[in-house]
Structure 1
């Protein structure tokens, strides 16, 4: 015998609400302490299978292209632009988080003091006779001239240890391979109206906080050096785009969230004519968000920001749970009884939706596993809260929505409307499937660049600056795999003649590789053997000093540095840690547990086929990262589709277990299936190429459709229950349609894809559930 639970007194209801809120606050606090948000997009990529895919995954966040920011200063006279370029570069080189700054002005600080004695291991000066008596004589004569020129202030502090200015030569050599024109020793565009700079951040491209800090530092430094001039700064590059997109996404999400909240409150207030309904309806939704967030925070070391954003979007369906409970209340029946009567139907919908997301756990993609945990825990906790907590807060003497004359009249008109039979449903399915299949244009969108939310004008500006600066091609890269770092450096050194031939043939405009900064240990040892002994260097230096105004002991520090270089251990990439050069080398020399890969970035690649043939037999491979990204997306989509197929089977099994009637199962699943085909057909006929975000949205739309169909089926042929189900689904669909229609208007392609897909699904699910699932009135059934 079931014991009817009595309604709580007003005082106990207040206590329950306060305890519920306190628990949510405590959960939110604990989740916030454990939550480690990240922005590494590789968490949403499947495991790479090919060398090009592995390289793409590495380069996506940590490669030199992902960390490069391009700057242009314009709007002032040329001399003012030059002064601002120098001042800005000086400030940025001392700014934390900025690894390298290049503006054409050689930066001697690129070699720290502790490494400067080894400069002759990094260059071939000794091998070409640059330290012989004749060469030293010529160099000292040039230094005398330099000390009488405007360069004296910069030259005098360094010539005692570096009379050949080898550090300056290295700094110039380390400038980008294809540099723009120089005016007054600084980079300018071809028209001479913009001073150009290239900045490389120390943080990876997928670190949004660090990129935001770097961009803010650049703008702050420019504001300081600009002074009262009317000059302005243009800043482009992946980091700058990421900061801009993050700002716009946050702004749009905040606006949409605000509008959604206001409309949610108004709709529930209008729908139930009670100020309590919006407050009580928000509790299960808040429970879903906080429990889902806590689950991923506790279960994973780092949570991706996309997981949180998508998770809160997908658990929006939890707002339907209290709405169903509110609409099915009636006088004389306690809220506990109403919740118990609704639970089989509500539980079936929740279980089916969770099953759809549970398949992401076997997708092999860490980001999707996080999303699955977030949504499953969130939706499950919201459903349980609506079943076991919310009834204690609901007014035990509500207004019965079934008594509304307007709703009853609306339902009467709907009941007289056409129904979609089995034959018509099959014909519709075939037509929709054919429309989706044979619509013109590619079915799937594999090009990730088309999903970028960066405005076309910003992309054009970036391409223009890349052309002016000779920045490396971001699509093609040469890879030389080897057993370790030293073998990779040696392989890249052997490739130098091939690269020089390609540049001479104008197949490429330039190139960059790690060996430009740190030669292999073997090359450094060979250069050590060519360095003169201390006695020989002193003799040659004495000869050079004979006809110069310098004192005989003026260059003892120089002799000491060369002696240190003769006996020093060869420099390795690890020795550059903490220096500006480290970032450049790390981006071009990728080490893994199973070996290392030397990368060569190319500038101005005119003919990939010719370059690929020239590299044949060298052990190097020209990789097309665009093709690698497309194949990776295809692999990703394949896994998601298999997961969805498994979800469909499990979902059908869940509905079968709940309903135990083949006719009812087919009738409940039919609207969801037809809606999925309708969405695909509409999108394809509108010329939309489907991407991964459409698939995620289809899952959400399917969950909504199943929910609507289950509740129309639950109403049976009871006219009052039919009206209550209609009221609940009208409120649910109105709130859902509103928020996703707003998302469909977003300028962010990801949000727009999800918004439009679900908005179409909401309308189609509602109409098809009425046309297929609704029971005929008793008279009609008779």
Structure 2
């Protein structure tokens, strides 16, 4: 093929990639829901944890603090922010302590106060009670609070609405100054905001944060005040931004190094360009396959998938290094294909085992990687030879490479005894080094700085936010059933608080009694005639006019005739926010939650809760058990991958000696990686395990190509050239990942970087054959 035709084919390939990229990008729907990368929940605590991670109000809560100016100025800024943000549809709740009383209950719900209040559960609404209340109102009118109470009297002489508003105040509410919430020191104005976007919806959370910053900028004006935002949504945006910045930097460095290494290795500007085509093709093919087979592509699949298929850059390198004058690129590709195909097939089989995990995210990752690897291999075999210069420099003729091989040939080869000894030592380190083996704490995987986490804890304490570890859950067939069950706790929880077992609590039944309770309260309300008679009797002995309370009579009658209030009736009101966060409804199932603050005696609380059909759930323990379940599935996939990988190599090589020799570096490298990590005190997490598969795939490729070279010195030199270029490009990018501030990237980078070094060295020590010339020299 002429140079002009090779150029035309390369440009056509690039054009097809551009078209495919545009087509996939226009239809691609990225997801940020971490639940796709978690196994199916089995226990109630795990199910609740999964729900809360994705949709729960805890994941949507943003905590704000304004500081750096006079308290009055900060209060005004808080009020201005609340007014602006409350009008925006992307926020469900904007609370700063203002408007938390009567203003929080719309007029249409006020007659329901007689169904919501427990005041008349024991005390009837009769003339004696009304007389007592009216006497109190006469005294109230003469007090400083008289101006506030007077407008309420015509419709609410017993002040039931005020009693409810007071009862609904959070047990650990922050102090109020200048009409808004402040911290205990009086230097920070506090706000709590609940977004409509889930905490792990990065796009929605970014929009919410932008709106908050815009509102603060407008409210601040020229003030030196500062705004701090904390919470899961703020953290997810920060993590996403930092991950993207680090990944972009590492990707840019990797691309630059890839270009420089290939240019230095092959002394051709074409090599980097041609070498990148299979990688780009693999990425687009993998992305397109996932988009076609799954409902939405997870962002982790894209980021981690491109990392995993980075191994495909080795495929064109092997083709370039084995090409020599007198051998057509097609013949070279055919010669390499059995070895390259075995490596690709084995690695694909390893990732195929992710399908047995039952985890949607891992299955996406398997499809992305398998399709990407297979596409890159096929492109290298059937398309790339058409673009290669048929008469390049022969890597076997390099003087420095010959000297390097001569030095390497002096290394002692490892036999069965040596491999067994190293494996035994590695196992001893893995098993007997003190310290935790597995990392079960999800919090340790977060790249959020410790200072930011401490700030979040401080704001939660100031705002009286509930305990994020323990929660009481009561399950039932519907909202009515769980409301009835949770009402029984309303008599038990105050006693627990008095005993010091808990500092506070909150549950939906505080705001919305069950329909059964509301009907019982309706039956206790007097009919219109009886109430009119009782009111006339009570008013007769007071300064009030007999017709002053017509609105009160009408409200009681409306409450007596109304259908019970349901969660749906609260939609659009501040009460809905309180109830929705504590009453979860999922199709034919409902869960009532009781949030706790200051839990000091879990055993006592658990005992009380069990008597009423509920459970005290430890969400920290649930997250750890979920991680353990996940790890069990990944380990099962790894075990199955090992068996299938060995079977694939056996089918290709059909020689027990060659199969064991090819598999030994990969297996021993895996043990050495784990031993080094354990020796350094690293607790192993799921990303270490998944990265072991990538490291194993690299090791298998190195071993297969050294086995393919046999004892032909020229072929050994070409293989050494290819493996050195492959290992250097791979080592640099993963070493950079190992230095990342993101724990997940650091786990991947350190694991694979160690794997590159160990697999390269062990492939030389175990698989390398003495060259025929060396053997002849030794015989002489």
Matched, 1:59 2:52: yes
2:521 is matched with 527
Aligned pair partner of 1:653 in 647, 657, 661 = 647
* Separation in 2, partners of 1:310, 1:56: 24
Higher mean C-alpha displacement, 496-505 vs 200-209: 200-209
Q: CA deviation at 1:81?
A: 2.0
Matched, 1:641 2:635: yes
TM-score, normalised relative to structure 1: 0.93
Higher mean C-alpha displacement, 126-135 vs 319-328: 126-135
Q: CA deviation at 1:534?
A: 4.5
Matched, 1:673 2:667: yes
* Separation in 1, partners of 2:226, 2:177: 19
CA contact (8 A) 1:502 1:508 kept: yes
SS in 1 for 2:94: strand
Q: CA deviation at 1:595?
A: 3.0
CA contact (8 A) 2:713 2:773 kept: no
Q: CA deviation at 1:554?
A: 7.5
Q: CA deviation at 1:691?
A: 0.7
Q: Per-residue displacement from partner, 1:299-336 (whole Å, max 9, x unpaired)? A: 01122211111111111111111111111111122211
SS in 2 for 1:196: strand
CA gap of 1:62–1:679, structure 2 versus 1, over 3 A, is same
SS in 1 for 2:613: coil
CA contact (8 A) 1:256 1:742 kept: yes
2:313 is matched with 319
* Separation in 1, partners of 2:399, 2:86: 74
CA contact (8 A) 1:489 1:520 kept: yes
CA gap of 1:554–1:374, structure 2 versus 1, over 3 A, is farther
Unaligned 5+ segments in structure 1 are 1-7
Q: Per-residue displacement from partner, 1:274-301 (whole Å, max 9, x unpaired)? A: 1111111111111111111111111011
- RMSD over aligned Cα atoms: 2.6
* Separation in 2, partners of 1:306, 1:328: 36
Q: CA deviation at 1:249?
A: 0.9
TM-score, normalised relative to structure 2: 0.93
2:174 is matched with 180
Q: CA deviation at 1:375?
A: 0.5
CA contact (8 A) 1:64 1:584 kept: no
2:354 is matched with 360
* Separation in 2, partners of 1:561, 1:302: 51
CA contact (8 A) 1:136 1:540 kept: no
Matched, 1:603 2:601: no
* Separation in 2, partners of 1:745, 1:293: 27
CA gap of 1:576–1:426, structure 2 versus 1, over 3 A, is same
CA gap of 1:239–1:174, structure 2 versus 1, over 3 A, is farther
1:306 is matched with 300
CA gap of 1:563–1:20, structure 2 versus 1, over 3 A, is farther
CA contact (8 A) 1:65 1:472 kept: no
* Separation in 2, partners of 1:536, 1:15: 97
- Kindly report which structure 2 residues correspond to 1:128-143, keeping only aligned pairs within 5 A, or say none: 132=130, 134-135=132-133, 138-139=136-137, 142=140
Q: Per-residue displacement from partner, 1:669-707 (whole Å, max 9, x unpaired)? A: 111111101000000000011110100111110011101
SS in 2 for 1:330: coil
Q: Per-residue displacement from partner, 1:7-44 (whole Å, max 9, x unpaired)? A: x2233323322332232223223322332211221111
Matched, 1:755 2:753: no
Aligned pair partner of 1:487 in 481, 485, 501 = 481
SS in 2 for 1:446: coil
1:106 is matched with 99
Higher mean C-alpha displacement, 708-717 vs 105-114: 105-114
CA contact (8 A) 1:507 1:607 kept: yes
CA gap of 1:88–1:543, structure 2 versus 1, over 3 A, is farther
* Separation in 2, partners of 1:452, 1:597: 29
* Separation in 1, partners of 2:674, 2:597: 41
Q: CA deviation at 1:393?
A: 1.4
* Separation in 2, partners of 1:332, 1:615: 82
CA gap of 1:777–1:162, structure 2 versus 1, over 3 A, is same
2:194 is matched with 200
Higher mean C-alpha displacement, 329-338 vs 160-169: 160-169
* Separation in 2, partners of 1:691, 1:605: 30
CA gap of 1:103–1:410, structure 2 versus 1, over 3 A, is same
Matched, 1:71 2:71: no
Question: Size of the alignment, in residue pairs?
Answer: 771
1:15 is matched with 8
2:402 is matched with 408
2:378 is matched with 384
Aligned pair partner of 1:216 in 190, 195, 210 = 210
Q: CA deviation at 1:470?
A: 1.6
- Kindly report which structure 2 residues correspond to 1:308-707, keeping only aligned pairs within 5 A, or say none: 308-534=302-528, 559-593=553-587, 595-707=589-701
* Separation in 1, partners of 2:154, 2:332: 91
Q: CA deviation at 1:618?
A: 1.9
SS in 1 for 2:581: helix
Q: Per-residue displacement from partner, 1:511-536 (whole Å, max 9, x unpaired)? A: 11111222110111122234454556
* Separation in 2, partners of 1:116, 1:19: 72
Higher mean C-alpha displacement, 385-394 vs 676-685: 385-394
Aligned pair partner of 2:19 in 26, 29, 34 = 26
- Kindly report which structure 2 residues correspond to 1:217-296, keeping only aligned pairs within 5 A, or say none: 217-296=211-290
* Separation in 1, partners of 2:8, 2:106: 66
CA gap of 1:522–1:727, structure 2 versus 1, over 3 A, is same
CA gap of 1:548–1:392, structure 2 versus 1, over 3 A, is farther
1:712 is matched with 706
Aligned pair partner of 2:79 in 86, 94, 109 = 86
* Separation in 1, partners of 2:557, 2:190: 39
2:765 is matched with 771
* Separation in 2, partners of 1:337, 1:22: 27
* Separation in 2, partners of 1:19, 1:557: 81
CA contact (8 A) 1:44 1:366 kept: yes
CA gap of 1:681–1:92, structure 2 versus 1, over 3 A, is same
Q: CA deviation at 1:135?
A: 2.9
Q: CA deviation at 1:163?
A: 7.0
* Separation in 2, partners of 1:727, 1:115: 79
SS in 2 for 1:192: coil
CA gap of 1:46–1:88, structure 2 versus 1, over 3 A, is same
Higher mean C-alpha displacement, 207-216 vs 767-776: 207-216
SS in 1 for 2:505: strand
Higher mean C-alpha displacement, 670-679 vs 35-44: 35-44
Q: CA deviation at 1:109?
A: 5.4
Higher mean C-alpha displacement, 168-177 vs 60-69: 168-177
SS in 1 for 2:492: helix
Matched, 1:46 2:39: yes
CA contact (8 A) 2:282 2:372 kept: yes
* Separation in 2, partners of 1:271, 1:508: 69
